[in-house]
Amino acid sequence: SRSINLAVIPGDGIGQEVVAQGLKVLSAVLPQDVKLETKEYDFGARRYHATGETLTDADLEQLKQHDAILLGAIGDPSVPSGVLERGFLLKLRFAFDHHVNLRPSKLLPGVETPLAGQPEIDFVVVREGTEGPYTGNGGTIRGGTPHAVATEVSLNTAFGIERVVRDAYARAQARPRKKLALVHKNNVLVHAGHLWTDIFAKVGEEFPDVTTEYMHVDAATIYLVTQPERFDVIVTDNLFGDIITDLAAAISGGIGVAASGNINPSGAFPSMFEPVHGSAPDIAGQGKADPSATVLSVALLLRHLGYEAEAARIEEAVSVDLAERVGASARTTDEIGDALAVRAAG
Amino acid sequence: SRSINLAVIPGDGIGQEVVAQGLKVLSAVLPQDVKLETKEYDFGARRYHATGETLTDADLEQLKQHDAILLGAIGDPSVPSGVLERGFLLKLRFAFDHHVNLRPSKLLPGVETPLAGQPEIDFVVVREGTEGPYTGNGGTIRGGTPHAVATEVSLNTAFGIERVVRDAYARAQARPRKKLALVHKNNVLVHAGHLWTDIFAKVGEEFPDVTTEYMHVDAATIYLVTQPERFDVIVTDNLFGDIITDLAAAISGGIGVAASGNINPSGAFPSMFEPVHGSAPDIAGQGKADPSATVLSVALLLRHLGYEAEAARIEEAVSVDLAERVGASARTTDEIGDALAVRAAG
Ligand SMILES: CC(C)[C@H](C(=O)O)[C@@H](O)C(=O)O
Ligand SMILES: CC(C)[C@H](C(=O)O)[C@@H](O)C(=O)O
């Protein structure tokens, strides 16, 4: 009989509330014969304040036992900027080699967008997750003096680029339009840029039916707001991916509905699924958070584990629910979760 | 008697056409007693193909003699990506220490924006121009092999950050709303991020009437499309500035109207003014290019040289011209230039 052994990390702020809805919907869609086991972990600001720890080797050993991880949100104003981000989120992405950071953007019917004319938006960003300027390389000399110098080093390897580029080509090939755009800044960041560009061209030979284009990251932000229908699959570096996926979320309904997967396609370590939004401490505990992004992240999780039909049912449920919101009165986090669970159960 | 000794670099593609209009408007607005001398330079793709040169030491010596530089556009598909960008544009910005890269965004009445609801957009980005990931630091080992590694090093100095941050505070203080936002990614790029954040706080003590906020670059892209009215002055690093100013241009009328100044406030070297757009080889020579961005760059140039009234007249002329375009038939580059010259002459 089948089973899913899930690590659940509610985290900080609204994390608890939205993860509860994610689990509700997950239980509702799973076939009878699939045994769902969950184990909750208390990572985040509370644990950091209590113990000074963000993510220990022992924690990683435990998390490794699971089939996948569902995360709510990590981050709190009481913790200095960077501590939880680097000490937990990035540490986990690097430790579990989550090199495919998958961020779909789809503007669903009825959903508000800041763009005029309700454009067609349906693309996926494949953001590299383990290299680039995110490796923590760099340092400061003469800090606090007028002679301070700080560096940040972006590290890029053929190994790391090739695997994420190949993953992106495969995703593009599996979609009807079969289009893939490489986003970088190869006219300025020439070393990393040429490595990305060369590997992009070389791997492309294996996917002759995929149409490709190259775009500078600055130009990409223009096209995202003027011609978002142009995009199908985008592959890009860790930092550029961070920036353009927030913009992508903003134009396709906001971070309230933006899901993401931190995926290790090899399966050597569990993949992690999380909403793109943060912990939103200003609205935490008030039942105001939209759980849709977390519920859609559960769909990505199910698809990753091979439950395609169940993933599609969740996505359909969210789509219908969002369309029905137009003109309707606001519901609580819990009410939206209930509605999605009923609908996705089918 | 007063005089302006201007270096003119039409450059590639539409550069020639738009610079001609810029000069036309410049001549029209200048007071009778100001003697305008111009010298044209042939930098760009043609010269590169003919001589292999992009910008020599002798060129820099000559350019140094001028009061300011007006640039059209540099770049052509016949030249490998990066050669002219790095060999000319960036080389000049670094050689002349253009550390204040000034990019105003204002959505003028009647101008189309991809955003719904015609928001109020009127802010200025002060982009650092001589540091960050733009210094050309980095390299590649084992290129062309599966073991290739490429690095890009972002260099950030207290000296470089402080001067641009102080310039941005002064600009914010001179504006009615007196608001300044620092955009960075200090939760991930902690070394550079902390240096920026610390200096931003420290310099702020000299400007107690300026309201400040810090924003991650990814969040900034969201606010730029959902709440652009939030921004007054933004100060940011070279690469983040590159990215968000293209987005800023896109939401406030497109790169057809986006002007920029590469400024050395000390006056040690001439400052350079250029439209944000590129050479657009696809429409070059057809009279289709909108010269407004170049004409607005001439306004920035005049303001920099102390001709505030003339700068304001140009901006007003462009504003009226853009409003009158609504529903009117298309005009050529030259016709728009003529109309702007007449109107700005007053
Ligand atoms: C919180 C931060 C470290 C993170 C990132 O920069 O990757 C976030 O912005 C994201 O996009 O998941
Ligand atoms: C052409 C390129 C080098 C340049 C930059 O990245 O600064 C351009 O995009 C700009 O914004 O002026």
* CA B90 to chain centroid: 12
CB A87 within 8 A of CB A52: no
Per-residue pLDDT tens digits for A207-226: 999 999 999 999 999 999 99
Q: What are phi and psi of A64, to 5 degrees?
A: -60, -25
Q: Pick from A113, A157, A243: which is nearest to B243 by CB?
A: A243
Domain regions of chain B by residue span? 1-103+259-346, 113-252
Q: In terms of DSSP bridges, do strands B149-157 and A149-157 run parallel, antiparallel, or are they unpaired?
A: antiparallel
Equal fold, A1-100+256-346 vs A113-252: yes
Query: What is the pLDDT at residue B224?
Result: 98
What's the pLDDT score for residue B279? 95
Contact list, A190 vs chain B (CB under 8 Å): 82, 86, 136, 138
At residue A159, the pLDDT reads 98
Chain A CA closest to residue B90: A188
Q: Is residue B86 classed exposed, middle or buried when 0-12, 13-18 and 19+ CB atoms within 10 A define those classes? A: middle
What is the token pair recorded at B95? 């050689």
Check A191 against B133: CB less than 8 A apart.
no
A110 has pLDDT over 90 = no
Among protein residues, the one whose CA lies closest to atom 3 of ligand 1: A85
What residues of A are labeled active site?
A: 134, 185, 218, 242, 246
pLDDT at B333 over 90: yes
Say which DSSP state B228 is in: G
Please state, in angstroms and rounded to a whole number, the distance separating the CA atoms of residues A265 and B201.
43
Mutate which: A239, A240, A244, A257, vs B, most B CBs within 10 A: A239
The sign of the CA dihedral B52, B58, B64, B65 is negative
Given a cut of 90, whether residue B326 has pLDDT beyond it is no
| Residue of A272, A232, A267, A246 whose CA lies nearest to A129 | A272
Q: B15: annotated binding-site residue? A: no
Per-residue confidence at A61, pLDDT binned at 50, 70, 90?
A: very high
Phi-psi region of A241 (alpha: psi -120 to 50; beta: other; left: phi over 0): alpha
Are A235 and B181 contacting, i.e. CB atoms less than 8 angstroms apart?
no
Contacts of A250 in chain B (CB under 8 A): 221-222, 225-226
Query: Which of left, alpha, beta for B244 (phi over 0: left; psi -120 to 50: alpha)?
Result: alpha
B81 → chain A, closest CA residue: A187
Which two three-digit tokens encode residue A180?
A: 């893939």
Question: Which tokens in the block code for residue A282?
Answer: 């200003």
Q: Choose the closest CB to B250 out of A116, A185, A226.
A: A226
Closest C-alpha to ligand 1, atom 8: A242
Residues of A in contact with B229 (CB under 8 A): none
Q: Kindly state the tokens that stand for B245.
A: 């100013």
Average pLDDT, chain A: 97
What is the separation, in whole angstroms, between the first and last Cα of chain A? 22
Cα three-residue angle B166-B241-A125, rounded to 5 degrees: 150
Q: How far A339 CA sits from the closest chain B CA (Å)?
A: 28
Closest Cα to atom 9 of ligand 2 = B242
Give Rg (Cα) of chain B: 20
Q: How far apart are CA B229 and CA B247, in angstroms?
A: 14
User: b/e for A165-186, b at 16 or more Cβ within 10 A?
Assistant: bbbbbbbbeeeeebbbbbbbbb
pLDDT of B52 strictly over 90: yes
- Residue A190's pLDDT is 95
Instruction: Give the pLDDT confidence of B109-137 residue by residue, as tens digits.
Output: 889 999 999 999 999 999 999 999 999 99
B323 lines ligand 1 (CB under 6 A): no
Query: Are A114 and B186 a contacting pair at CB < 8 A?
Result: no
Q: Is B117 exposed, middle or buried (0-12, 13-18, 19+ CB in 10 A)?
A: exposed
Region A199-206: what's the mean pLDDT? 98
**DSSP classification of residue A308:** H
Tell me the residue ranges of DSSP E strands in A129-282: 138-141, 149-157, 179-184, 211-216, 233-236, 259-263, 271-275
Beta pairing partners, B132 = B155
SS3 content of chain A, % helix, strand, coil (to 5): 45, 20, 35
- CA atoms of B267 and B65, how far apart (whole Å): 12
* A141–chain B nearest CA distance, Å: 10
| Pocket lining: B266 vs ligand 1, CB cutoff 6 Å | no
CB atoms within 10 A of CB A32: 6
Query: Given an 8 Å threshold on Cβ–Cβ distance, is A114 in contact with B225?
Result: yes
8 A C-beta contact, residue A140 and residue B155: no
C-alpha distances in angstroms, A18 versus A88, A280, A295, B221, B313?
19, 11, 8, 24, 54
The CATH superfamily label for domain A1-100+256-346 reads Isopropylmalate Dehydrogenase (3.40.718.10)
pLDDT score of B110: 87
Closest ligand to C-alpha of residue B242 is 2
- How far away, in angstroms, is A242 Cα from ligand 1 center? 6
The per-residue pLDDT for range A33-46, each reduced to its tens digit, is 999 999 999 999 99
Instruction: Look at domain B113-252 and name its CATH class.
Output: alpha beta
Q: Are B344 and B313 in contact (CB under 8 A)?
A: yes
Going by the DSSP 8-state scheme, the letter that residue B4 receives in this structure is E
Q: Name the CA radius of gyration of chain A, rounded.
A: 20
A164: confidence class by pLDDT, cuts 50, 70, 90:
very high
β-sheet bridge partners, residue B65: none
Lowest mean pLDDT among A107-111, A169-173, B36-40, B235-239: A107-111
Closest CA to A317 of A104, A114, A21: A21
Q: Which of A166, A129, A96 is nearest to A242 (CA)?
A: A129
A71-108, pLDDT tens digit by residue? 999 999 999 988 999 999 999 999 999 999 999 999 99
Q: What are phi and psi of B157, to 5 degrees?
A: -120, 150
Give A5→chain B minimum CA distance, Å: 31
3-class DSSP state of B107: coil
Active-site residue among B48, B134, B169, B307?
B134
| Nearest CA distance, B90 vs chain A (angstrom) | 9
Q: Write down the CATH superfamily of domain B1-103+259-346.
A: Isopropylmalate Dehydrogenase (3.40.718.10)
Contact A149 B140 (CB under 8 A): no
Residues 6+ apart with CB under 8 A from A145: B158
* Residues recorded for chain B: 346
Whether the CB-CB separation of B11 and B71 falls below 8 Å is answered with yes
C-alpha pair distances (Å), A40 with each of A6, A14, A54, B18 = 9, 16, 15, 62
β-pair type (A68-73, A3-11): parallel
Closest chain B residue by Cα to residue A147: B158
Q: What is the longest distance spanned by two Cα atoms in chain B?
A: 66
B166, burial (CB in 10 Å: exposed 0-12, middle 13-18, buried 19+): middle
Q: Residues with Cβ < 8 Å from B282, sequence gap 6 or more?
A: none
Per DSSP, what are the bridge partners of residue A275?
Answer: A259
Mean pLDDT to the nearest integer, A246-270? 96
pLDDT higher than 80, residue B1: no
Q: What token pair was written down for B202?
A: 């420290």
Do residues A65 and A105 lie in contact, with contact meaning Cβ atoms separated by under 8 Å? no
Count CB pairs under 8 A between chains A and B. Answer: 211
Helix (H) or strand (E) holding B236: strand B233-236
A124: helix, strand or coil: strand
Band the pLDDT of A326: cuts 50, 70, 90.
Answer: confident
B145: pLDDT strictly greater than 90: yes
A254 burial via Cβ count (<10 Å: 0-12, 13-18, 19+): buried
Residue A143 has pLDDT above 90, yes or no: yes
Token couple for A339 = 């509605």
Residue type, B328: A
Mean pLDDT of chain B: 97
Cα gap A134→A149, rounded to integer Å: 19
Distant-in-sequence, close-in-space partners of B99: CB < 8 Å, separation ≥ 6: B128, B129, B130, B131, B160, B163, B164, B167, B263, B264, B265
Check residue A346 and give its pLDDT. Answer: 75
> Quick count: other Cβ atoms within 10 Å of Cβ A118?
13
Q: How far apart are CA B52 and CA B58, in angstroms?
A: 15
Residues B166-202 have pLDDT tens digits of: 999 999 999 999 999 999 999 999 999 999 999 999 9
A245: which 2 tokens?
Answer: 């996926």
